[in-house]
Amino acid sequence: MTVYFLCAVLLMMGLYCLVAKKNIVKKVIGIVIMDYAVNLYLIIIGYKHGGLAPIVEPGMNAQTLGRFVDPLPQALVLTSIVIGLGVLSLMVAMCIRMYEKHGTFDMSQISKLRG
Amino acid sequence: MKGMTLIVRTITDFVVAFIVVFGAYIVLYGHLTPGGGFAGGVIIACAFILLMLAQGKEVAFSRFGEKTAHVLDSTGALVFLAIGGVGLTAGFFFKNVFGRGEPFRLLSSGMILPANIAIAFKVVGSLYLVFTALAIFRRRSFRSMIEDELT
Amino acid sequence: MNLVPLYVAIPLLAAFLIPLLGMWWKKSGEVLATLSTVLLSVMAIASIGAPAVVHHMGGWPFPEGIAIVSDGLAVLLLIAVNVVGFLCVIFSLKYMQEYTGLPKYYGLFMLMIAGMNGVVVSGDLFNLFVFLEIASIASYALVAFGVEADELEAGFKYLVLGSVASIMILFAVGTVYAVTGTLNMADAAREIASRFGGPEMNPALLLAAAFFLMGFSLKAALVPFHAWLPDAHPSAPAPISAMLSGVVIKSLGIYAICRIFFHVFGFAAGNPSSVIIANAMIAFAILSIVIGGLLAIGQWDLKRLLAYSSIGQIGYVMLGIGIGARVLATGGARSLAALAILGGLFHLINHAAFKSLLFLSSGAIQQATGTRDMKRMGGLKERMPITAATTNLAALSIAGVPPFSGFWSKLVIIVAAVKAGHVVISSIAIAMAFVTLVYYVKLQREVLFGAVRGAVEKAREVPAVMYVPLIILAVVCVGFGLLYPVVGARILEPATDALLNGAEYIKLVLG
């Protein structure tokens, strides 16, 4: 249970970083922290203490099969990391372009639109 | 980008080929051992990124041009889609139409091997392009501005 | 054999072929995007009235495989996405000529369509998330396509909030998987119904429901999650604004809410959690209607006015669906729930037609006059008669003037609200319908009628390739209003049935 709680704390830290920091690079870092908190959460779902790699071999009994870790969350996390990479590169590219336009990373100086 | 010192440049020149071969191994044996198209593709892309960091943009582009990367990027995705489309002729998208082969041999597991290769093409192309797209901004001024911002 | 995967495969093929061929053939984007969107529109329209089908990827049946499902609800959204997509491509042919990197534009456009079609046909929670991300990433890049200061800022804002939404959705997907042990929507629905049906709901599932609702509401830009929309929609090129307002917020937001909450979680009578969810939906809807409508009045930027109006109108869609959900959750009559949902879905498809028409018209106006400031316009109907006529028609339709389509859908929603006993809510909805009329009358008076002044003096009618999509959409607006019996029976009722019959969806997918 504690690990889930720590996961939530990590998520909140990312959210705090995103909301409270003015520097857009730090905002990006906040998003990445949130993303990894969720990835960690998915991994914890599939974790099993003393688990085995899920490879079925001849002669395995039901007890051994029951000790397999769930491989599906790992596949999900892999996909999610790749998606995160795509989003991250887009965010960084936009940050660089915004720096070129404004000469600063400070969101309060960049911001002109009223929302 | 000018590149780094002579030692780094010599070593990377020597090492890059091995990294590419290792990446290719990860791709080709992805259906038998841990690894696969994405992991192997990242390794191969990293080899060229290393080359770009150590030797500069010009050398890296002479070995692996931007246009080649674009072509690899698109063809990888198209080949992957084509593999799915071939399955459609058998009634279902991504249905395996290739033979399954003997387990633990290189040419086995049906369409996983060609799909891995297609993914590797896509990943090599797109990761390399992401890196070059970000590195192509004026690097010198960018470094100084990050230092300004963070201090 | 059925061809449902082609809704994803064709736009993906175009998306990757366009930049590849674009290196040698400059017109690749225009040609391939037009061809593939025509094909997709024909496929979507041809599937009207077809029975619901499920495609098992790779020939793997449940539980190994991933299911791709096309039922009545999916067909409704597929028609909206692909037809609006096709018209936006036609409009782009001329409008986008001033931009550089056109193969990239059309590639991203097709990627966005692939993502939206994927969200609509996906029968698997994680695939829904992946397609949602594909569509979102493409739209972030398209909003910032102009790479000017405003576009970048709006794109970055959209990107940050969209990423937060995606993270919430992924968290919820993980939680549903942890509780039910499956990602297949039909299987998860069966697990949830069998294990957690009755008066109590598992607290973890309630958490997942809250995260889903927040994430998808952010994608749908419901108040209080709307902050990105009024910046992102005006900053994007006009065809992209039309896509974003017309279909993206619906397929990624409203459709996903419908699918997840009606089919996966289900609104069982006597379940207190279902009532909470339905109440939250209605609350977001009312907030969106009121705040979106009131903020739209004060806008002088043409596209910002339209963007705020989108928030208000998406609130009406959500209101219909939320009332339907609440009726189901409190054990009311099923026919009443069907009426409310029918109204919501009818307003969804109407809004797809008239809001994309309005945004495309605003693009035509901006190109002809060089400005979006309504204070510098006036008398547009003298200089651009066709664009002015279509804009006028769309404005009348969205403001709810009979006999145009917007009137009927709002009427159905309000009648359903009154019948369900929500008198206060329905009076707010009626009052805000008049506010809608107010700001569209303002648009008419400032832009279309009156003396020719300001930037309009030099304006000329846009070329045919730009006004033909406008005329087609205007015909659709009128047609949905006058030919309701045809549209309702052929498209909307199957969609409503599909949404209400969760059990049939489970039977279809699990076989």
Reduced to 3 states (helix: H, G, I; strand: E, B; else coil), residue C401 is coil
Task: Flag whether pLDDT at B140 surpasses 60.
Answer: no
Q: What is the per-residue pLDDT for B2?
A: 62
- Which candidate from C1, C20, C58 shows the least CB-CB separation from B96? C58
Please indicate, yes or no, if residue A15 is contained in any of the structural domains: yes
Please indicate, yes or no, if residue A99 is contained in any of the structural domains: yes
Q: Which domain holds residue A100?
A: 1-35+71-108
Radius of gyration of chain B measured on its C-alpha atoms: 19
Q: What is the per-residue pLDDT for C281?
A: 94
A110 or B119, greater pLDDT: B119
A17 or C375, greater pLDDT: A17
The Cα C236–Cα C499 span in angstroms is 33
Q: What integer is the mean pLDDT of A20-41?
A: 94
Contact B48, B128 (CB under 8 A): yes
Concatenating the DSSP letter of every residue in chain B gives: -----HHHHHHHHHHHHHHHHHHHHHHHTTTTSS--HHHHHHHHHHHHHHHHHHH-HHHHHHHS-HHHHHHHHHHHHHHHHHHHHHHHHTTSTT---S---STTSSS-STTHHHHHHHHHHHHHHHHHHHHHHHHTS-HHHHHHHHHHHH-
Tens digits of residue pLDDT in B5-28 = 889 889 998 999 999 999 999 999
Please indicate, yes or no, if residue B87 is contained in any of the structural domains: yes
- The first and second tokens of residue C59, run together, are 């020939």
Domain count, chain C: 1
Q: What is the per-residue pLDDT for B22?
A: 95
Interface with chain B: mutation pick from C4, C20, C53, C55, highest number of B CBs within 10 Å? C20
Q: Please report the sign of the dihedral spanned by the C-alpha atoms of residue C336, residue C341, residue C342, residue C343.
A: positive
Task: Flag whether pLDDT at A51 surpasses 90.
Answer: no
The Cα B101–Cα B114 span in angstroms is 14
B81 to C9: CB separation less than 8 angstroms, yes or no: yes
Number of Cβ within a 10 Å radius of residue C75: 24
The Cα C158–Cα B47 span in angstroms is 34
Q: Does A31 touch chain C (CB under 8 A)?
A: yes
Task: Find, among C348, C320, C324, the residue nearest to C337 by Cα.
Answer: C324
Paired residues of C373 in beta bridges: C301
The Cα C478–Cα C481 span in angstroms is 5
C57 to B92: CB separation less than 8 angstroms, yes or no: yes
The Cα B4–Cα B51 span in angstroms is 10
Residue C406's contacts (CB-CB under 8 Å, 6 or more residues apart) are C347, C350, C351, C354, C397, C398, C399, C400, C477, C481
Q: What is the per-residue pLDDT for B70?
A: 92
- Which candidate from C149, C157, C227 shows the least CB-CB separation from A102? C149
Q: What integer is the mean pLDDT of B65-75?
A: 92
The Cα B11–Cα B18 span in angstroms is 11
Chain B CB contacts of A99 below 8 Å: 142, 145
End-to-end CA distance of chain A: 39
The Cα B148–Cα C131 span in angstroms is 39
Paired residues of C68 in beta bridges: C55, C122
Interface with chain C: mutation pick from B67, B88, B93, highest number of C CBs within 10 Å? B93
Least confident of A48-57, A88-97, B71-80, C84-93: A48-57
The Cα C110–Cα C11 span in angstroms is 5
Q: What is the per-residue pLDDT for B117?
A: 95
Q: What is the per-residue pLDDT for B102?
A: 83
Q: Which domain holds residue C20?
A: 6-510
Q: Does A73 touch chain C (CB under 8 A)?
A: yes
Confidence grade of residue B137 (pLDDT, cut at 50, 70, 90): low
Cα dihedral C58, C60, C63, C68 in deg (nearest 10): 40
Concatenating the DSSP letter of every residue in B45-84 gives: HHHHHHHHHHH-HHHHHHHS-HHHHHHHHHHHHHHHHHHH
The Cα C200–Cα C273 span in angstroms is 7
Task: Find, among C22, C18, C259, the residue nearest to C119 by Cα.
Answer: C259
Please indicate, yes or no, if residue C382 is contained in any of the structural domains: yes
A90 to C137: CB separation less than 8 angstroms, yes or no: yes
The Cα C344–Cα C416 span in angstroms is 10
Residue C251's contacts (CB-CB under 8 Å, 6 or more residues apart) are C77, C80, C81, C116, C119, C120, C135
The Cα C385–Cα C163 span in angstroms is 42
A93 to B133: CB separation less than 8 angstroms, yes or no: yes
Domain count, chain B: 1
Please indicate, yes or no, if residue A50 is contained in any of the structural domains: no
- Which candidate from B38, B134, B145 shows the least CB-CB separation from A82? B38
Please indicate, yes or no, if residue B1 is contained in any of the structural domains: no
Q: What integer is the mean pLDDT of A81-94?
A: 93
Contact C425, C432 (CB under 8 A): no
Paired residues of C124 in beta bridges: C184
Please indicate, yes or no, if residue C1 is contained in any of the structural domains: no
Contact C132, C119 (CB under 8 A): yes
**What is the nearest CA distance from B97 to chain A, expressed in angstroms?**
24
Helix (H) and strand (E) counts for chain C?
A: 23, 2
Report which secondary-structure segment, H or E, holds C204: helix C203-220
Please indicate, yes or no, if residue C273 is contained in any of the structural domains: yes
Reduced to 3 states (helix: H, G, I; strand: E, B; else coil), residue C456 is helix
The Cα C115–Cα C276 span in angstroms is 31
Contact B117, B111 (CB under 8 A): no
Please indicate, yes or no, if residue A20 is contained in any of the structural domains: yes
Q: What is the per-residue pLDDT for C1?
A: 62
Query: How do the pLDDT tens digits run along chain C, 511 residues long?
Result: 688 999 999 999 999 999 999 999 888 899 999 999 999 999 999 998 888 899 988 888 877 788 899 999 999 999 999 999 999 999 999 999 888 889 999 999 999 999 999 999 999 999 999 999 999 999 999 999 988 888 999 999 999 999 999 999 999 999 999 998 899 999 999 888 887 666 667 888 889 999 999 999 999 999 899 999 999 999 999 999 999 999 999 999 999 999 999 999 888 887 888 899 999 999 999 999 999 999 999 899 999 999 999 999 999 999 999 999 999 999 889 999 999 999 999 999 999 999 999 999 999 999 888 888 888 888 888 888 999 999 999 999 999 888 888 999 999 999 999 999 999 999 999 999 999 999 999 998 888 888 888 788 888 888 888 999 999 999 998 888 888 888 888 889 999 999 998 888 988 888 7
Radius of gyration of chain C measured on its C-alpha atoms: 22
Domain count, chain A: 1
Please indicate, yes or no, if residue A43 is contained in any of the structural domains: no
Burial (CB < 10 A; 0-12, 13-18, 19+), residue C454, is middle
Report which secondary-structure segment, H or E, holds A39: helix A24-46
Paired residues of A106 in beta bridges: A23
C282 or B3, greater pLDDT: C282
Please indicate, yes or no, if residue A61 is contained in any of the structural domains: no
Q: Which domain holds residue B12?
A: 6-150
Task: Find, among C261, C322, C318, C247, the residue nearest to C289 by Cα.
Answer: C318
Q: Which chains reach chain C with 3 or more Cβ–Cβ distances below 8 angstroms?
A: A, B
The Cα A64–Cα C25 span in angstroms is 59
- The first and second tokens of residue C9, run together, are 């495969």
The Cα A29–Cα A31 span in angstroms is 5
The Cα C188–Cα C193 span in angstroms is 8
The Cα C319–Cα C24 span in angstroms is 50
Q: What is the per-residue pLDDT for C482?
A: 87
